[in-house]
Copies of this chain bind each other. A is one copy, B any other.
Amino acid sequence: MLNWDHIFATRSSRMRASEIRELLKLLDRPDIISFAGGIPDPALFPDEEFKAAYADIFGGEQGKAALQYSVSEGYKPLREWLQCEMAKIGVPCSADNIFITSGSQQALDYLGKLFLSPRDTALVNWPTYLGALQAFNAYEPNYDQLTLGNRTPESYRTAAEKLGGAVKFAYLSADFANPTGETVDRAGRERLLKLAEELDIAIIEDAAYQSLRYDGEPVPPILALEIAEKGSIEETRTIYCGSFSKTLAPGLRVGFVVAATPVIRKLVLMKQAADLHSSSINQIAIAHVAERHFDAQVAKIRKAYSARRNAMLAALERYMPAGTVWTRPEGGMFIWVTLPEGIDGAELLARSVETEKVAFVPGQAFFADRSGANTLRLSFSCANEQMIDEGIKRLGRLVGGVGAMAAA
């Protein structure tokens, strides 16, 4: 067989299979209670609504356009619908500030491509969304830990220069983040805006879970706070990435970016060169369902996921041994568990699958510096309340046993 390694570009060495992902593929078995997934529950998909959307498309005048090439910036009526939605959450903008992507994962890839030269630095949380690290890795950056409050702008700048590049952006999910479930409060968002201003960098606000709030007061998006301060989206440095994957359905691959037009214009050119445009028919179908059913659909899934979150928090309280702590998310799909020091999440998973038939994601993969061995991510989106109680009971038993052994 050919030796491809010297033909591949240097960046390809950072494209590696995730061990965890490979392992979890094997765990898609009916006898396992899985808190690993992090995907929406298909039972909640608005499939009747999508069925009607596709039938309408082919029944009407849009059938041909749905099958034809379309513009790189995205389907205008969908961008106009998003414009109205953004206005409701404090982001007044025009349809020209909105760009349709093939899921918000594509937005992260494109933003990495737009900003990162090799050796530039991206600021990310420790832990952060694994998919963001994977998307950015292709552009060969370094990572530094985004912490709000205890570091000077100068310390970020110096660290980046030492590594041969510049700080280009801070990436974060401000609401019910994957993997922690945590939300950055208003003061934290304002500190981030100040930091970005001082460093003269972009902010990538990943809003994939923002619609999934179950209680507590909504915090304005970072982009909304910046517009309020500066008067116009054209003056802002925050790039807002949204998705229909968690609200309507991921299988159509439709997401979006909202930002100042110089950024949108570059993204449109990039998309023209990279895949021409997102699926015409799916953009029309998403617009069709969003216009008619978005609020009802979001209300439906909020109710279901909220009950599951409650069940998981109650079960953790009931079954987890002392020394284990976890987050109490106000939305999203995830709870983040920190085990007593010395317990390794990956080892725990191996035992858990063998003896307790419970799966989750060890937390280490979410850390750019590979710390966090004693953490794990639990998703409550795809399990019913009985399964959640049973699964956490088993997991608590295992953690208790392993903890006792570690202490002995």
Q: Which of A247-255, A320-328, A352-360 contacts B (4 or more CB under 8 A)?
A: A247-255
Q: Which of A48-77 contact B (CB under 8 A)?
A: 50-51, 54-55, 58-59, 63-70
Q: Is A27 an interface residue (CB 8 A)?
A: no
Docked-complex contact B54 and A67, CB < 8 angstroms: no
Q: Which chain B residue lies CB-closest to A16?
A: B269
CB distance from A259 to the nearest CB of B (A): 10
Q: Kindly report how many copies of this chain are found in the complex they form together.
A: 2
Tell whether A251 pairs with B274 under 8 Å between CB atoms, given A1-B262, A260-B1.
no
CB distance from A71 to the nearest CB of B (A): 9
Chain B residues within an 8 Å CB radius of A253: 102, 275-280
Interface size, chain A (Cβ < 8 Å): 84
Docked-complex contact A68 and B250, CB < 8 angstroms: yes
Q: Is A103 an interface residue (CB 8 A)?
A: yes
Q: Which chain B residue lies CB-closest to A249?
A: B67
Among B2, B68, B266, point to the contact of A235 (Cβ < 8 A): B2
A134-B202 Cα distance, complex, nearest whole Å: 25
Chain B residues within an 8 Å CB radius of A139: 9
Among B64, B67, B103, B275, point to the contact of A103 (Cβ < 8 A): B275
Docked-complex contact B138 and A274, CB < 8 angstroms: yes
Q: Which residues of A contact B (CB under 8 A)?
A: 1-2, 4, 6-12, 15-17, 21, 39-40, 42-43, 45, 47, 50-51, 54-55, 58-59, 63-70, 101-103, 105-106, 109, 113-117, 120, 131, 134-135, 137-139, 168-169, 200-202, 234-237, 245, 249-253, 260, 262-263, 266, 269-270, 272-282
